[in-house]
Chains A and B, each alone.
Chain A
């Protein structure tokens, strides 16, 4: 049953991708198709990576509200970007070789994410309030630090930082896209291999251990994969805080299963579908150039509030 829904979701995603590529296609066809294909690839990669990362994160955190973004990952990215612009200047950042910058950013974000998630999840993961509060406070501290650094910037340099604060799918380097695809592909396959063990981990640490699962090892492996997935996608296009929450929540709601072999691809495809359909609607149908990320933050924020209020009503 869940598999059938997964196939249906895949078909809808293929349809949305075809519409994105071919809708109102005018000459020069090859050139426009190339541009659209690059953008589509970025949307698909980022949607899949963020959706899968969030399901992994929620399973090891034993909480359906948390996303890497909510516990401070995006604030970390903005702080790093601001520090980079402050250190090297707007022009210096623009002159950096894209490949080296991308790889350095990915490496730095993976390390930083490992520290952040390790701090939050490896110790006292059972204490949810402590975990959320620590994440939120770290986020506030990092944003405060970024804000302080932004005040020291020239207006032109500040504009560079501001561009990095929201995800942008417009101008993605094709070379970087190929590298990102390879990295994300490997991480996604590793996550799928981990799926049966994640099903057991979803029962909670104590119960999983009574069933013979090396729970701490699965948590470490999952957090490593989350770090790679969110670091690569964030370094590629920028932060999309709430996309993961939307993708994971819809994935769970549509599939109605505990099996990560279904949930991971479902959340990935939902994330991708949300981005592709959203961008299609914005660009092609409404003819707007507004940033899709802003809308995602808005809708995701509403969903987050709705989920919190639903939980409050239940208890």
Chain B
């Protein structure tokens, strides 16, 4: 479990997050939603230990994230950031192989190679493996970076807007994979995901943490948070809801 304990973040003189107190359960997918500028990516980066809070602390499975050794943290948390730019000349396979770095530190073993092959297969990248990353489309790059994070084999997976560049098929496939890997069990991974696609959150997320103006607006099971009145207040626009056999869909009115 991740315990976010009264966390605030200031960048220069601007307050980005204030007094965030929330919990992210280890089982299932937790979606971070909210309007632009609400502080979703900032909170994800804080939870990943990539930025330091101005106040408060974040405890992951009983240990302060910001006190963990770099390598130890990378063996517990894999992070997919929004940035896709690369200056190194890498093939897709090279990139995915970097996901194993926290485990082998430059000396890959057979097990690492097997996991890379598995990641390439799982994200439908086997055909693209020898291609240079810079020649890929935005969606293909997104899949390659996601495969790299998956190959890190960590108990926690944090993804910052992974669906932004994906076509509907790959977006559904990714969410389905995240759903499977986050089911309770010894191999389960906790998933924290920033999404703007509210229907992806409504269909796939088990828990939702909604942020507004740098604070927690609502938190809890997805069905309790993703209601038209709450979404309407969260986004300052009316929302409707349609119940389908696949689940609940929401739409702005």
Q: Which residues of A contact B (CB under 8 A)?
A: 62-64, 196-197, 199-200, 202-204, 206-207, 209-214, 252, 256-258
Contact = CB atoms under 8 A, between A and B. Distances in A.
Given A62-B87, A209-B50, A212-B101, A258 B94 contact: yes
Contacts of B106: 196-197, 199
B88 A212 contact: no
Size bracket of the B interface: 20 to 34
Interface of B: 48, 50, 70-75, 77-79, 81, 83, 85-90, 94, 98-99, 101-102, 105-106, 149, 152
B85 A204 contact: yes
B73 A63 contact: no
B191 to A, nearest CB: 15
Given A206-B81, A213-B70, 13 more contacts: A62-B87, A196-B105, A197-B106, A199-B106, A204-B85, A209-B50, A210-B48, A210-B50, A210-B77, A210-B81, A212-B71, A212-B73, A212-B74
Contacts of B89: 252, 256-258
Contacts of B78: 210
Contacts of A257: 89
User: Ordered nearest first, which 5 A-B pairs have the shortest CB separation?
Assistant: A212-B74, A196-B106, A212-B71, A258-B88, A202-B88
Contacts of A62: 87
Contact of B70 (A196, A203, A212, A252): A212
B71 to A, nearest CB: 4
B83 A206 contact: yes
B127 to A, nearest CB: 21
Nearest to B49: A209
A200 B98 contact: yes
B88 A209 contact: no
20 contacts: A199-B106, A202-B87, A203-B86, A203-B98, A207-B81, A209-B70, A210-B50, A210-B81, A211-B152, A212-B71, A212-B72, A212-B73, A212-B74, A212-B101, A213-B70, A213-B101, A214-B70, A252-B89, A256-B89, A258-B90
